[in-house]
């Protein structure tokens, strides 16, 4: 079983990568297979938000569950990922519940 991490990135310092990295490491330490969009990086200058979302969706569709990081409700991208996960019947979990 794989989980996808979703959370806010746009407009945050370092695209919120430190929070994604910490969450991915914590979940992996519990033996959970994690796919995280922060690991795709932002090494494609000139690409827009929609391009990154398409790449992120490819990861999401490989997973069985989505784990929502704090602040996701304020993120257009994470809200979209949540919507897709719900529409596809994926398990949706708040990070705080998994990390405990």
What per-residue confidence (pLDDT) applies to 47? 82
What per-residue confidence (pLDDT) applies to 43? 66
pLDDT in tens, 5-35: 999 988 888 888 999 999 999 999 999 999 9
Residue 74: which pLDDT band, with cuts at 50, 70 and 90? very high
Q: Would the pLDDT of 84 be above 70?
A: yes
- Which helix (DSSP H) or strand (DSSP E) does residue 4 occupy? strand 2-6
Question: Which of the two residues, 60 and 98, has the higher pLDDT score?
Answer: 60
Residue 99 counted as domain residue: no
| pTM score | 0.92
Residue 35 counted as domain residue: yes
Residue 80 counted as domain residue: yes
What is the count of structural domains for the chain? Answer: 1
Residue 55 counted as domain residue: yes
pLDDT in tens, 31-68: 999 999 888 766 667 888 899 899 999 999 999 999 99
- Domain of residue 42: give its range: 2-94
Residue 100 counted as domain residue: no
Strands 33-35 and 65-68: unpaired
CATH number at residue 13: 3.40.50.10400
In order of 26, 33, 90, the CA distances from 53 in angstroms are 24, 21, 18
């Amino acid at each position: 079983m794989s989980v996808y991490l979703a959370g806010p990135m746009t407009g945050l310092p370092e695209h919120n990568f430190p929070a994604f990295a910490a969450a991915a490491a914590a979940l992996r330490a519990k033996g959970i297979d994690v796919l995280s969009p922060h690991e795709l990086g932002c090494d494609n200058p000139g690409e827009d938000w929609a391009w990154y979302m398409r790449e992120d969706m490819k990861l999401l569709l490989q997973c069985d569950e989505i784990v929502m990081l704090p602040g996701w409700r304020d993120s257009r991208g994470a809200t979209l990922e949540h919507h897709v996960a719900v529409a596809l019947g994926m398990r949706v979990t708040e990070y705080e519940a998994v990390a405990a």
